Structure 1
Amino acid sequence: MNKPKKWIADKIESLDPYKDYIEIWRLSSSYRLNDFMQNFIYALTFPNFIVTDWGSKAVWREDGGKVLHQSTSRVEQTGSANALWWFYGPNDERTLKSIESINKLHVYWAKKYPGAFSYNEDYIYTLAFSATTMHRLKLKMGAPGISEKEKIAAHLFWRDMSKLFYAENGQPITGYPNSFEELVEFCEQYENTPRPTPERANLVANAIYEQFVFRFFPPPLHWFGHQLIRAMSLPTTLKTLGIDPPDPMAAEILPKLMGYIFWQMEENADDPTESYIEERLRMSSEEKKSIRSEIKDLDGRFPEHFAQQYKDDPKFIGCPYHAALEAAASSKKSNSEDNFVDELEKKAGALD
């Protein structure tokens, strides 16, 4: 059996993290990705960003927004935007245009939900979480965290990214932590801040988890998909959002199982020579059309499925948003969306 071809770790080792941090981040984050991993990371990440009443209000809105009506489209747009940033870095024109579209989207929604995009700490948390995600996930799976070079590079990469975003009314993002260790500390403090359970946040998170399960697991294994995503999620987030924790055995076994699977992939597979975003960008028009068709089908079937699963959640009896779930799901598209928003979201990603 031929030894797998490895080049990424050697290349990272040859670089200076203080000078080559953009390339190190690209190498450590842009390869070994596929649609499952992109969706998995999205499901583990985004619910942590909507634990506040104002954050979840701007996402669920009055009728479920895109997490209900275009659930997989939202994953695709978010994932492709992130992959674009990770590969090209904060100085590239493609990244700058993508993030400017995100900033314009925030301006648009801030007019409808004043104050929701004004909290500096929410932006810092999103940046800090993004920089530390893989390190913390590896530790959760029982694996060593990322290397010191990768920590330095992650901290500097997202420092530069922080300068591209702005909060409500054009306010710059301030207070980015001074080291990787401080990024982790900031995340842990934010996550352990006691908060009430926003009703819409529960729906947003459940929609995100359910979309992942609905897309990748056959109905008889939906229970397993939910145990997996909960076992890998932050317990503090599940508690704040009013979502049941995983079964104790699942919490113990599944992170280790995922760690073993990732270890096997890293040890026994060749390092890819092409990044995820490069693969997407070189797709033919027919390949892109096929993906869009699959996503459209998933988007169309998901709202009714989700409504049937969550409309009668006994923990949220009396919640107007849970009560209106069936009616919201029956509408063909979120009333909150328009062509202006659709165009901005397309510009933020790569699958045009």
Structure 2
Amino acid sequence: MDSSSTKRLPYHWIRQRIESLDPEKDYEEIWRLSAGYGLTAFTLNLVYAITFPNFIVTEQGSRAVWRSDGGKIVHQATQRVEQTANNNAIWWWYGPHHPLTKKSVNHINRLHDHYSKLFPGDFGHNDDYVYTLTYTAATLHRLKLRLGLPGFTDKEKKAAHLFWREMSKLFRVENRPVRDFPTDWDDLIRYNEEIEANMASGPERATLVAEGCFDQFAFRFFPPGLRWLGRSIPICLSLPTTLKACHIEPVNPILDWLITFVLGSLMWLIQTVLPDPKESYWQQQEKMSRSEKAQELASYRKIDVEFAPWFVQRHKKDTPGCPFHAALGEERMVTQPPKAFDIARGSPEKKE
């Protein structure tokens, strides 16, 4: 979309455009319009914080992520968030059939292959992949409902299901394709709810990963005196079943009401009063120069250097006698994954 065409866009052009499309044929564009605009570093980090703990409540999920000392959850926390956001933005903008999306997912498949050798069997659970994909498909819909707003329209639901069904075909479960993706939107929601209703109590590693997600969001966006509030926001918006499985105390009911009221009001204002954004998050990222990207990465690394000791200090003595808490702050176990790849620019990233 060039600059001249963006100037002519209607005030609420996104909704108008979605309503003109056919979800059976145009599901990629509908998802791009539904999920790719109006995003910021704050909102993407918040979505990450309320999403990722759902996937690590199992033994295999928490073991592969926490490893021996917290892994990237502790030592490269913000960089991990931004890598996830970068991949998601590529998928949402280009869709499941584009070469850049396939290259991005292939990189993740290679990472899983690498770590599956270190954690045999942990990456071989088909339901782990299906739940991650189906939860992602419904995240924005469920978040809107949680904030008291209308969720996806029928057209958006159908498009979301088709988009993520096609995305599922790109992932590999130990060199096998992902199997048994839900047949439609209603089946997708039923699948999510069944998984969540049967979440067992997670190991201590799962608690630490969830704590890392909530704390990283608070540390990055809130000053020291308000980090308790920053931490409360993703906890408030997390699934009760996930909080229970991860042994995380829910937010005080009054604060819960206040957070959902404020965020719901802000989202309503953005969706109904303010004009729709003319550029997507990924378009804004593509406009950044290499020097700007380098400065951004340096800022993430600075945050991470400061976050790790802060997190260790907060949690090292949470559970006396727990080996995972005791290992916080000790010398890291070094494992070398395949070289990271800057998908959008087509060049290897510099090793840290």
Q: Does 1:231 align with 2:223?
A: no
Distance 1:28 1:76, change over 3 A: same
Of 244-253 and 107-116, the range deviating more from structure 2: 244-253
Q: Which amino acid aligns with 1:50?
A: I
Q: Which has the higher contact order (CA 8 A, sep 6+)?
A: 1
Provide TM-score, normalisation by structure 2: 0.93
Deviation string for 1:183-215 (max 9, x for gaps)?
111111111114132111111111111000000
Q: What corresponds to 1:137 in structure 2?
A: 143
Q: Which one has the bigger helix percentage? A: 1
Paired position in structure 2 for 1:48: 54
Q: Distance in 1 between matches of 2:255 and 2:190?
A: 27
The answer to whether residue 315 in structure 2 is matched with residue 319 in structure 1 is no
Partner of 2:340: 344
Structure 1 residue matching 2:340: 3-state secondary structure = helix
Note the C-alpha offset of 1:4. Answer: 8.2
Cα distance between partner residues in 2 of 1:148 and 1:336: 48
Residue in 1 that maps onto 2:159: 153
Percent identity between the aligned chains? 47
Q: Tell me, in whole angstroms, the C-alpha distance in 1 between the residues paired with 2:228 and 2:56.
A: 24
Deviation of 1:346 after TM superposition, in Å, equals 4.1
Map residues 100-249 of structure 1 onto 2, 5 A cutoff: 100-168=106-174, 170-249=175-254
Instruction: Give the structure 2 partner of residue 294 of structure 1.
Output: 299
**Shift of the alpha carbon at 1:274?**
1.3
**8 Å CA contact 2:50, 2:234 repeated in 1:** yes
What residue number does 1:280 align with? 285
- Map Cα deviations across residues 256-315 of structure 1 (whole Å, 9 max, x no partner): 2211111111223221111111111110122112211110100111110001111111xx
Q: Distance in 2 between matches of 1:350 and 1:219?
A: 38
Q: Alpha-carbon deviations, 1:108-132, whole Å to 9, x = none?
A: 0000001111111111101110110
User: CA-to-partner distance for each residue in 1:140-182, whole Å, 9 max, x for gaps?
Assistant: 11111111100000000000001000102x1211111111111
CA distance in 1, matches of 2:345, 2:257: 36
TM-superposition CA deviations, 1:56-107 (whole Å, max 9, x none) = 1000101111111110000010001001001100000000000000001000
Cα RMSD after superposing both structures: 1.8
Cα pair 2:11 2:275 within 8 Å, conserved: yes
Which letter does structure 2 place at the counterpart of 1:252?
Answer: W
Q: 1:349 to 1:162 in 2, by over 3 A?
A: farther
Gaps of 5+ in 1: none
**One-letter code aligned to 2:214:** Y
Q: Secondary structure at the match of 1:325?
A: coil
The alpha carbon displacement at 1:348 in A equals 8.5
Classify the secondary structure of the residue corresponding to 1:146: coil
Provide the secondary structure at the position in 2 that maps to 1:75. helix
Contact 1:77-1:345 at 8 Å conserved across structures: no
Question: Aligned equivalents of 1:176 and 1:152: distance in 2?
Answer: 14
TM-score normalised by structure 1 residue count = 0.93
Q: Give the aligned residue type for 2:78.
A: T
Q: What corresponds to 1:251 in structure 2?
A: 256
Return closer, same or farther for 1:193/1:350 CA change in 2, 3 Å cut-off: farther
* Aligned CA distance change for structure 1 residues 85 and 149 (closer, same or farther; 3 Å): same
Asked if the contact 2:201/2:244 (under 8 Å) is kept, the reply is no
- Rounded to whole Å, the distance in 2 between the matches of 1:350 and 1:274 is 23
Is contact 2:68-2:327 (8 Å) kept?
Answer: no
Given the alignment of the two structures, is residue 261 of structure 1 paired with residue 266 of structure 2, yes or no? yes
Q: Do the aligned residues in 1 keep the contact of 2:210 with 2:246 (CA within 8 Å)?
A: yes
Name the CA shift for 1:165/1:271 in 2 (closer, same or farther; >3 Å).
same
- Provide the C-alpha distance between the structure 1 equivalents of 2:55 and 2:344, rounded to a whole number of angstroms: 19
What amino acid is aligned across from residue 344 of structure 1 in structure 2?
Answer: A
Which structure 2 segments of 5+ residues have no match? 1-8
C-alpha separation in 2, matches of 1:162 and 1:267: 33
Using the alignment, how far apart are the partners of 2:138 and 2:341 within structure 1? 25
Q: Is the 8 A contact 1:209 1:229 kept in 2?
A: yes
- Find the aligned partners of 1:105 and 1:281 in 2 and give their Cα distance: 24
Paired with 2:346 and 2:323, the residues of 1 have a C-alpha distance of 36
**Counterpart among 28, 43, 60 of residue 37 in structure 1:** 43
Q: Shift of residue 227 of structure 1?
A: 1.6
- Alignment partner of 1:326: what SS? coil
